[in-house]
Amino acid sequence: MYTIEVFESNSKGRDFVVGDIHGHFKLLASLMKKVNFNTRQDRLFCVGDLIDRGPDSIDVLKWLSEPWFHGVRGNHEQMLMDCLSGRGDINRHTRNGGAWLYALSPSVQSEIYNALQTLPIMIEIGLADGRKVGIVHAEAFISTTTHSWQDAKDAISGVRGESAQQQALKIALYAREKIEQQNQAAIIGLDRLYVGHSTVPHVHALGNVIYIDTGCSFSDGALSLIEIESGEVAHVSMHSLLGDSPSSVHSTS
């Protein structure tokens, strides 16, 4: 089942969205400390690819159990589920950072599968002033005539039929057409859409689509976090794991 999860505005604290984590949960924890994340009031949303490549992928179970942590399904979650259900290519998954999974017992593999299966394909978050923002891993399925967020929701939910649903799923998990074409067209019905999947050297906007995967799975990359209301960006570089480069916090438009 491909779901869309909708969240009301956060009346207690702040909302943050983070790029592809890729098993670097210790890096994420240091970034949250940097922005004084309050687990009693704040919420953290991820654009998918929580697992693979990094050293802490097994910690995904702990993070997904936290009531303040939410994410969408990425292509790496899909690869894992496909492999454990017998439909995927284990060698391909292993080459792409999934070797950690096959060292685990079948019972733990099953626990991870069940946890990842609950992840929605899309998230919609209300803001205090009535606007809303969206999250999807790669791209949203958008009609070339309407450019509407509702198109993507209708397709993923199955309203437009199974064929459109499968196409929308593929786009949500794998597409890079918008960034490859540097397409500045805005998505109607959203203030902003946050995506990952396509690695960028710094947080990058195309229209109202914000690319926030700054490549923490690469030695010269970073993990980036945005406070949704203010637009303030914080990031921690991979070099900081070695103690030779400071993290930073700055504002962006």
Catalytic residues: 76
**Nearest Cα to 222, choosing from 13, 12, 31?**
31
Task: Tell whether the torsion through CA atoms of 24, 25, 29 and 32 is positive or negative.
Answer: positive
Task: Tell whether the torsion through CA atoms of 30, 32, 37 and 41 is positive or negative.
Answer: negative
Residue with tokens 């070695």: 242
Those residues whose C-beta lies under 8 Å from the C-beta of residue 98, and which sit 6 or more positions away, are: 51, 52, 76, 79, 80, 83, 90
Bridge partners, 126 (sequence order): 132
Task: Tell whether the torsion through CA atoms of 14, 19, 23 and 28 is positive or negative.
Answer: negative
Q: How far is it, in rounded angstroms, from Cα 201 to Cα 209?
A: 16
Residue 168, judged by CB atoms within 10 A of its CB (0-12, 13-18, 19+), counts as buried
